[in-house]
Chains A and B, each alone.
Chain A
Amino acid sequence: MTGRLRRAGLPYLLLLPAVVMELLVHLVPMLVGIAMSFKELTQFYIRDWNSAPWTGLDNYRVSVDLSAPVGKDLLHSFAVTCVFSVLTVALCWLIGVAAAIFMQDGFRGRAVLRAIFLTPYALPVYAAVITWAFMFQHDNGMVNHILHDQLGLTGERPFWLLGGNSFTALVVVSVWKTWPFAFLVVMAALQNIPKELYEAAAIDGAGVWQQIRKITLPSLRPINQVLVLVLFLWTFNDFNTPYVLFGKSAPEPADLISIHIYQASFVTWNFGTGSAMSVLLLLFLLVVTAVYLIVTSRGRRSADA
């Protein structure tokens, strides 16, 4: 009896350290964050959180009140972030998959090219994005030097870090920074597709395009399921790229939600509202993730059947 109990308990015992750490590192701060969102945690109270008055749903009401400027800005920022994330993930995936497939066949210099492709992923984010910020400068930046001075494509030097172009700049940097990850994952997955499938298909007369569509992409499906989700969550939450590129106050067309929440809490010293916005974001991402996993898993199960 005790022997069986001991055996049944062993997995849990082994898991215990991980569970404790998980609670400490992730769950407790998360609960604190949720608690904060119900408090009026402004500069008058941050020294002693317990003295901050409970405000019920006030912070949430302010955040979602679309007729007031705070709510309107949050919604705008949310929309910008959605478009930005979808665009970035799509481009990263497309470039990553294409590059991985091209790199699949052996040729001279493949290893060097692979290493070069992975460089953006290996560089420290800050250094890389600061370099981009320099390149996007209006007067002395390399981008304008090439587009305007060398190629003469634009009538006047465009601004990249202000106004509408800032969104383009943000997407470019974000894709540049993230696509090597897609490349790496897909490349690893490609190694697992049996060569025989392609040989058989070639004998049956399938062209390259058909092989990609009928063999490669379906085989990548389980990888893609994770890859797209991870890319989406990273991109959606990305703070470093916009912060280094634009500083504390991003231009409106590129006002990502992470910067927006940072501004709503740190810059204006209102941690309650910032937390409320974070919790709303958490709920949204939970819903997206759940729906995504249900939809993609169901599709796969029926495909497997």
Chain B
Amino acid sequence: MKPRLSHPPMGPPERDDPAMITLRAATAVTTLTALTLAATACGGGAPTGPAASGNPKTLTYWASNQGPSIEADKQILGAELKKFEQQTGIKVELEVVPWSDLLNRILAATTSGQGPDVLNIGNTWSASLQATGALVPWTQENFGKIGGRDRFVDSALGSAGAPGKDPSAVPLYSMAYALYYNKKALRDAGIDKPPATWEQLVADGKKLSKDGKWALGVEGSNLSNNIHQIFVLAKQHGADFFDAAGKPTFTSDGAVAGVQQYVDFMAKDKIVAPGNAEYAQNQSLEDFAKGKTAMVLWQTAANTFKAHGMSPDDWGVAPVPLPAGGGATVNSMVAGINMAVFKNSDNLDGAMKFVGFMTGDEEQKILNKAYGSIPPVKAAQQDPAFNSPDLAVLRDTLAGSAAPLPQVPGESQFETAVGTAVKDLFAEAAAGRPVTTESVKERLTKAQQQMPAQ
């Protein structure tokens, strides 16, 4: 069965046989079709996906795309799902959903009530999806079914729903941002260790940006990534994008300074190639793997670099820099994937069992090893495999200096509005126009006006 929303929800009307004979009839029909399309395009409520069948022996599972490809995911997960079937007799039908579609698919499932039993969500969507009421809340009782709440790392649970409410999902894979650097490029430029402060990063960056090579890669047109980066920089300037009441505060001095600092890597410091302004498909990782850029700020990028043919000895991993003055401690968002149970599932019992299986110590080790992420389950984290130099940096960041993105219902609107503002600022910088405090503030003001009144 093919879910309808795997393609965007609007399109040109069907192109009928072009040899039209009765002109008037054709005109009328086409007009009606085209006009209707405009009105129905946002109907949204199409049933999607195989609905829970009511059979206690089957489950449907939407997994996010974690590996290098959807096929790779099917292999990795397929083996584990077979184990689950052997243990419980429940057959899990797996669908790996690409990131570009996942949120739309979840929205359509929410609207129609027809969806999977168990699904993966980006942890930053937790509070937004929690507000829809489509996901089973993880009460004390539900946590009891999967071994208890205290099995999970606190920072990961902090990214599973609005504070003070029962989480809408449980953490599955955890990730953190780090500074990936090309060892040889730094050595060649006479830099003996990766920058620990932004000031050092800019100074080193100027040495590295020459002869067609650049110091830092960014994904200027990737809205979510823009948000992840400026969230950290704003935090370091002491600012949050939402106040305690959940109201947007995009235009505070700290937020403006954070956004400006990020865009200035291209506009003022000139350590980012202008072409990065249009990157949105992880081209910056490819550039890094090919040696065109020397550093990149990313979450668990090792598998991607390997897929692009880079040898693990050629890159190093360091914590994301902090400001020189001290004081600030946050240098990453808590990134990760959560697992949720769809309220409309008619095999809730099996769904709980499946979540328990996937978050069990053994599976956590296997899956997180395969995906290069960190287990959000304390016991699984002890495995020596997560002690490698790469992963140790990520693990320590998660444990000590990562903060969750705002867990408010308006988070996804925030990502769109502010992410677009940063994208537009990068476009300005790439075109050689100056980026000033005023121009940053203007964009952020506009973004804040687009937020729905709460």
CB interface residues, A 125-145, toward B, < 8 Å: 125-126, 137-139
Most buried by A among B20, B38, B419, B450: B38
Q: How far is the CA of A293 from the CA of B31 in the complex (A)?
A: 11
- In the bound complex, residues from chain A placing their C-beta under 8 Å from that of B18 are 181, 184-185, 188
A226's contact among B26, B107, B221, by CB below 8 Å, is which? B26
Chain A residue nearest to B432 (CB atoms) is A156
Chain A residue nearest to B453 (CB atoms) is A62
Query: With A247-B221, A263-B416, A279-B39 in contact, is A42–B452 under 8 Å at CB?
Result: yes
The reply on B131 being an interface residue by CB < 8 A is: yes
B34's contact among A225, A233, A275, by CB below 8 Å, is which? A233
Check B423 against A281 for contact (C-beta < 8 Å).
Answer: no
Chain A residue nearest to B16 (CB atoms) is A230
The reply on A95 being an interface residue by CB < 8 A is: no
The reply on A21 being an interface residue by CB < 8 A is: no
Chain B: minimal CB distance from A41 (Å): 9
- Proximity bits, B1-26, A CB within 8 Å = 1, else 0: 00000011111110100111001001
CB interface residues, B 27-49, toward A, < 8 Å: 27, 30-45
Which label, helix, strand, loop or mixed, suits the secondary structure of the B interface? Answer: helix
Q: How far is the CA of A205 from the CA of B40 in the complex (A)?
A: 55
Chain A residue nearest to B46 (CB atoms) is A29
Chain B: minimal CB distance from A16 (Å): 17
Check A43 against B128 for contact (C-beta < 8 Å).
Answer: yes
A-B contact pairs, 14 of them (CB 8 A): A32-B43, A44-B132, A47-B110, A230-B30, A239-B41, A247-B221, A249-B223, A251-B427, A261-B41, A266-B104, A267-B413, A268-B413, A282-B35, A289-B31
- Proximity bits, A246-284, B CB within 8 Å = 1, else 0: 011101100000100111011111110011001101100
Chain B residue nearest to A235 (CB atoms) is B12
Chain B residue nearest to A157 (CB atoms) is B275
Check B280 against A247 for contact (C-beta < 8 Å).
Answer: yes
CB interface residues, B 402-454, toward A, < 8 Å: 409, 412-413, 416, 419-420, 423-424, 427, 430-431, 446, 449-450, 452
Query: With A29-B43, A44-B409, A269-B413 in contact, is A226–B36 under 8 Å at CB?
Result: no
Q: How far is the CA of A268 from the CA of B411 in the complex (A)?
A: 9
Q: How far is the CA of A27 from the CA of B43 in the complex (A)?
A: 12
Sorting the interface of chain B by its residue count into under 10, 10 to 19, 20 to 34 or 35 or more gives: 35 or more
Check B132 against A265 for contact (C-beta < 8 Å).
Answer: no
Most buried by B among A70, A138, A293: A138
Check B35 against A159 for contact (C-beta < 8 Å).
Answer: no
Check B38 against A282 for contact (C-beta < 8 Å).
Answer: yes
- In the bound complex, residues from chain A placing their C-beta under 8 Å from that of B104 are 266
Give the A-binding residues of B (Cβ under 8 A): 7-13, 15, 18-20, 23, 26-27, 30-45, 104, 107, 110-111, 113, 128-129, 131-134, 221, 223, 273-275, 277-278, 280, 409, 412-413, 416, 419-420, 423-424, 427, 430-431, 446, 449-450, 452
B12's contact among A161, A163, A234, A262, by CB below 8 Å, is which? A234
Check A278 against B27 for contact (C-beta < 8 Å).
Answer: no
Check B424 against A26 for contact (C-beta < 8 Å).
Answer: no
- In the bound complex, residues from chain A placing their C-beta under 8 Å from that of B9 are 239, 262, 266
- In the bound complex, residues from chain B placing their C-beta under 8 Å from that of A43 are 128-129, 131-132, 409
Q: How far is the CA of A135 from the CA of B34 in the complex (A)?
A: 30
Q: How far is the CA of A126 from the CA of B12 in the complex (A)?
A: 13
- In the bound complex, residues from chain B placing their C-beta under 8 Å from that of A137 are 275, 278
- In the bound complex, residues from chain B placing their C-beta under 8 Å from that of A271 are 42, 44, 111
Chain B residue nearest to A158 (CB atoms) is B431
**Residues of A within 8 Å of B, CB-based: how many?**
71
- In the bound complex, residues from chain B placing their C-beta under 8 Å from that of A251 are 424, 427
Tally inter-chain residue pairs, CB-CB below 8 A: 192
- In the bound complex, residues from chain B placing their C-beta under 8 Å from that of A234 are 12-13, 34
Check A32 against B45 for contact (C-beta < 8 Å).
Answer: yes
A229's contact among B31, B128, B430, by CB below 8 Å, is which? B31
Chain B residue nearest to A243 (CB atoms) is B8
Check A269 against B277 for contact (C-beta < 8 Å).
Answer: no
B450's contact among A70, A225, A278, A285, by CB below 8 Å, is which? A70
Chain B residue nearest to A70 (CB atoms) is B450
CB interface residues, A 141-164, toward B, < 8 Å: 157, 159, 161-163
Check B275 against A138 for contact (C-beta < 8 Å).
Answer: yes
Check A278 against B41 for contact (C-beta < 8 Å).
Answer: yes
Check B134 against A262 for contact (C-beta < 8 Å).
Answer: no
Q: How far is the CA of A90 from the CA of B10 in the complex (A)?
A: 23
The reply on A222 being an interface residue by CB < 8 A is: yes
- In the bound complex, residues from chain A placing their C-beta under 8 Å from that of B280 are 247
A-B contact sample (5 more), CB < 8 A, given A237-B13, A239-B41, A268-B413: A43-B409, A46-B110, A269-B107, A271-B111, A275-B42
Query: With A30-B36, A237-B38, A240-B8 in contact, is A248–B132 under 8 Å at CB?
Result: no
- In the bound complex, residues from chain B placing their C-beta under 8 Å from that of A29 are 36, 39-40, 43
B38's contact among A188, A226, A230, A278, by CB below 8 Å, is which? A278
Chain B residue nearest to A162 (CB atoms) is B427
Chain B: minimal CB distance from A151 (Å): 20
CB interface residues, A 183-239, toward B, < 8 Å: 184-185, 188, 222-223, 225-226, 229-230, 233-234, 237-239
Q: How far is the CA of A181 from the CA of B17 in the complex (A)?
A: 11
Query: With A46-B110, A188-B19 in contact, is A239–B10 under 8 Å at CB?
Result: yes
A240's contact among B12, B35, B36, B43, by CB below 8 Å, is which? B12
Check B412 against A268 for contact (C-beta < 8 Å).
Answer: yes
- Proximity bits, A61-72, B CB within 8 Å = 1, else 0: 000000011100
Check A293 against B27 for contact (C-beta < 8 Å).
Answer: yes
Check B223 against A162 for contact (C-beta < 8 Å).
Answer: no
- In the bound complex, residues from chain A placing their C-beta under 8 Å from that of B11 are 125, 239-240
- In the bound complex, residues from chain A placing their C-beta under 8 Å from that of B34 are 230, 233-234, 237, 285
